[in-house]
């Protein structure tokens, strides 16, 4: 059960040609904007337990990081976001509004809550509350005409019903890790085996962390789950990652390995993968900014964005476009994108003798 979704916008909404629907207004109420959104993000905000916040938690979740990232990178951004009662009043939502994100908050009886502990071998995540499915609310026509959709679940809450809303020509990015978790309140989060889905087969770009799949998983076992011509991003933290482009028959057409950009000081790794994927999506819509980029997607730009977000706590560290460009300029000598021979999710090519390309 959920309450009526209510659009949340900052005080400058009228200046952007929008009309804010009053709280509790019928769902058929319309907003007006001169142009469609560039991207809509869909998912539930999570509350991450922490001792350094007086609330005892900090707002997180892929949808919050991804929406803030694309807005700060200059895209017209909307987000349909599931929130529980506590998350609905989170001060972090103000960061999204100030950045220009148009928010549609869907109040949930229960939202996802996690306790994250970072260890050398990776994150140990315990589920405090698994949350509920995110219902599909009526959306304004200007939102349905968005150029791109970003499906960013944290607890499998975005069902295949959402696929029917996506326009035929829209670009779709999916944060796969949010569909690969088994959540039981009070227990450690376990991996969930990948399964076919309409959203996954519709996606143009699919991102996943190597922590969310068995590292021995052959990459070729994942390809049939993706759509023809899809691009698969497998991130590997400080080891960089791999980007595989499939052809129309879902066979690997090109595989590139990228090296991670080192952070000045890693404070909080939460949201790094979500920010990376959002930055990569932004280059799909606007084109690459780096001469070292190979193809439509700009890996150097995305790696720079991912390195910046870990340098501060929570959403406050999500970078803007200027900060990303400065980091790219600083790291231009060490930033490499090279051909890859990886065949497994957990492959490590760091000891190879590949040379930079382009």
- Walk along the chain (358 residues) and give the pLDDT tens digit of each residue: 444 454 444 323 332 333 333 344 344 444 444 578 999 999 999 999 999 899 999 999 999 999 999 999 999 999 999 999 999 999 999 999 999 999 999 999 999 999 988 766 667 889 999 999 999 999 999 999 999 999 999 999 999 999 999 999 999 999 999 999 999 999 999 998 999 999 999 999 999 998 889 888 899 999 999 999 999 999 988 788 999 999 999 999 999 988 888 788 878 788 899 999 999 999 999 866 555 544 578 998 999 999 999 888 889 999 999 999 999 888 774 556 666 666 666 665 544 333 232 2
State which H helix or E strand residue 321 sits in.
helix 321-330
- Residue 21: CB partners within 8 Å, gap ≥ 6? 6, 7, 29, 30, 31
For residue 8, what are the CA distances in angstroms to 80, 84, 280, 314?
10, 15, 26, 21
328: phi then psi, degrees, rounded to nearest 5: -60, -45
State which H helix or E strand residue 114 sits in.
strand 112-119
- C-alpha 291/C-alpha 150 separation (Å) is 26
257 forms beta bridges with 242, 338
The answer to whether residues 308 and 330 touch, using CB atoms and an 8 Å cutoff, is no
- In this prediction, residue 58 carries a pLDDT of 94
The answer to whether residues 126 and 190 touch, using CB atoms and an 8 Å cutoff, is no
Q: CATH fold of 36-137+145-339, please?
A: 3.40.1190
- C-alpha 98/C-alpha 104 separation (Å) is 15
Cα angle 238, 243, 244; round to 5:
150
The answer to whether residues 202 and 165 touch, using CB atoms and an 8 Å cutoff, is no
For residue 184, what are the CA distances in angstroms to 58, 155, 190?
21, 11, 9
77-83 vs 39-44, strand pairing mode: parallel
DSSP string, 33-94: -SS--SEEEEEE-EEEE-SSSTTSEEEE-HHHHHHHHHHHTT--EEEEEEE-HHHHT-THHH
CA-closest candidate to residue 345, choices 171, 172, 206: 206
- Sorted by where each begins, the domain ranges of the chain are 36-137+145-339
The answer to whether residues 123 and 211 touch, using CB atoms and an 8 Å cutoff, is yes
- C-alpha 358/C-alpha 348 separation (Å) is 22
Within a 10 A sphere around the Cβ of 185, how many other Cβ atoms? Answer: 11
- C-alpha 76/C-alpha 146 separation (Å) is 9
HSE-CB of 226 using CA atoms within 13 angstroms: 31
């Amino acid at each position: 059960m959920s309450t009526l979704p209510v659009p949340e916008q900052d005080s400058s909404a009228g200046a952007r040609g929008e009309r804010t629907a009053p709280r509790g207004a019928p769902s058929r109420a319309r907003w007006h904007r001169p142009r469609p959104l560039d991207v809509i993000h869909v998912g539930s905000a999570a509350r991450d337990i922490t001792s350094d916040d007086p609330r005892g938690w900090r707002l997180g979740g892929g949808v919050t990081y991804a929406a803030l990232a694309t807005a700060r990178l200059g895209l017209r951004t909307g987000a349909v976001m599931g929130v529980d009662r506590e998350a609905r009043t989170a001060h972090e939502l103000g960061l999204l509004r100030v950045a220009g994100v148009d928010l549609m908050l869907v109040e949930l009886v229960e939202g996802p809550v996690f306790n994250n502990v970072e260890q050398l071998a990776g994150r140990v995540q315990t589920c405090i509350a698994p949350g509920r499915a995110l219902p599909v609310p009526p959306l304004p026509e200007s939102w349905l005409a968005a150029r791109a959709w970003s499906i960013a679940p944290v607890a499998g809450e975005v069902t295949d019903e959402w696929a029917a809303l996506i326009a035929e020509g829209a670009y779709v990015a999916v944060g796969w890790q949010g569909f690969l978790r088994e959540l039981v309140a009070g227990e450690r989060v376990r991996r969930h085996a990948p399964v076919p889905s309409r959203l996954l087969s519709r996606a143009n770009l699919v991102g996943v962390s190597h922590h969310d799949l068995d590292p021995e998983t052959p990459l070729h076992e994942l390809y049939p789950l993706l759509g023809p011509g899809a691009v698969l991003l497998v991130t590997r933290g400080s080891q960089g990652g791999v980007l595989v482009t499939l052809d129309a028959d879902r066979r690997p057409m090109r595989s590139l390995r990228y090296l991670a950009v080192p952070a000045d000081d890693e404070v909080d790794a939460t949201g790094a993968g979500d920010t990376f994927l959002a930055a990569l999506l932004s280059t799909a819509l606007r084109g690459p900014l780096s001469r070292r980029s190979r193809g439509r997607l700009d890996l150097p730009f995305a790696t720079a964005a991912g390195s910046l977000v870990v340098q501060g706590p929570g959403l406050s560290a999500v970078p803007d476009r200027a900060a990303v460009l400065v980091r790219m300029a600083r790291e231009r000598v060490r930033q490499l994108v090279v051909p890859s021979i990886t065949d497994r999710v957990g492959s490590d090519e760091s000891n190879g003798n590949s040379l930079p390309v382009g």
